[in-house]
Amino acid sequence: MNLGSELRRHRKSRNYTLVQLAEKVGVSPSYLSEIEQNKKRPSIKTVMRIAEALGIDANALLPPELSQNGPEEEIYLGGKLKVARVRKGWNLTKTSKLAGISPAYLSQIERGQVNPSIDVLKRLADVLGISLPVVMNRTNPRELGERLKTVRTSLGMSRKELAGKAGVSASLVAQIEQGKSGASLETLERLATALGVTPCSLILETDQVTEDLLTNLKPECKKLLAEPRVQALLQMVCDLDEKEFRFILNFIKLFRENWLQND
């Protein structure tokens, strides 16, 4: 099974033309045609939008190794560089220019097609604001699983709910959380999107993520954090136990959902 043929089969079974489906998905008919011909590989988000437009589960468009419990290639080097680059909102051209390499070479590094020198890796790490050991060391499945479970439970989401939103099986989520399976970059992106977090928050060290969050805070937010009243509030948060902290997180989540509905 491949994505292109499955997409075409589901589209025709619903009597959609390329133009009609493309309009529902929000892409061009020519791009959709290239996906069906396996000339283009869409992002996970695009696949999920296509599946939603067709009224089917995203798993129906993905091969078993991605949709169920097939082998998961652990995120390593190129995948981490891509996550860090996307986190900054940079494209290949900007990142490669800052690192002094070509966009094509950076693309090959991210896809694991070449093994760059330590010098190139160091330049990329410096440009992207991550440490070289983080880039070079493999992601520990146990640590990834713990982070995933922590985020999921803090949102009050079950494994089945997360699996449904991410378009993977609940058993795969369980295996990742238990440290029995790694996660490919695609799976990581799907899980992060479903949780409403960035992929880097699941694979980078907590200190690195915290530092990055503070660095990328908007100026007005940084100014707000400096106010005595806000610092007093933060001090109160530091004194909360786990149960109280989770209550606050759930309250914020409900508040934001209500705010967005009434906006």
User: Does the pLDDT at position 64 exceed 60?
Assistant: no
Token pair belonging to 221:
């937010």
The pLDDT value given to residue 101: 93
67 pLDDT higher than 60: no
Does residue 185 register a pLDDT over 70?
A: no
pLDDT of 56 reads: 81
Specify the pLDDT at position 44.
66
Q: What is the model's pLDDT at position 65?
A: 40
Q: Quick one: pLDDT at residue 103?
A: 92
Mean pLDDT within 164-171: 84
Tokens standing for 135? 């880039």
Question: 251 Cβ partners below 8 Å, 6+ apart?
Answer: none
- Is the Cβ–Cβ distance between 135 and 121 less than 8 Å? yes
Reference 168, options 192, 144, 198; nearest CA is 192
Q: Helices marked H in the chain — which ranges?
A: 3-13, 18-25, 29-36, 44-54, 64-67, 78-88, 92-99, 103-110, 118-128, 132-136, 141-154, 159-166, 170-177, 185-195, 200-203, 206-215, 219-225, 228-238, 242-262
In the prediction, which pLDDT does 16 show? 92
Q: How far apart are CA 157 and CA 16, in angstroms?
A: 35
Round the average pLDDT of the chain to a whole number and report it.
77
Q: Is the pLDDT of residue 23 over 70?
A: yes
Q: How far apart are the first and last CA of the chain?
A: 43
Task: Tell me the average pLDDT across 207-222.
Answer: 56
- Higher-pLDDT residue of 99 and 253 is 99
- The domains of the chain, with CATH numbers, are 3-62 (1.10.260.40), 64-204 (1.10.260.40), 217-262 (no CATH)
**Predicted model pTM:** 0.44
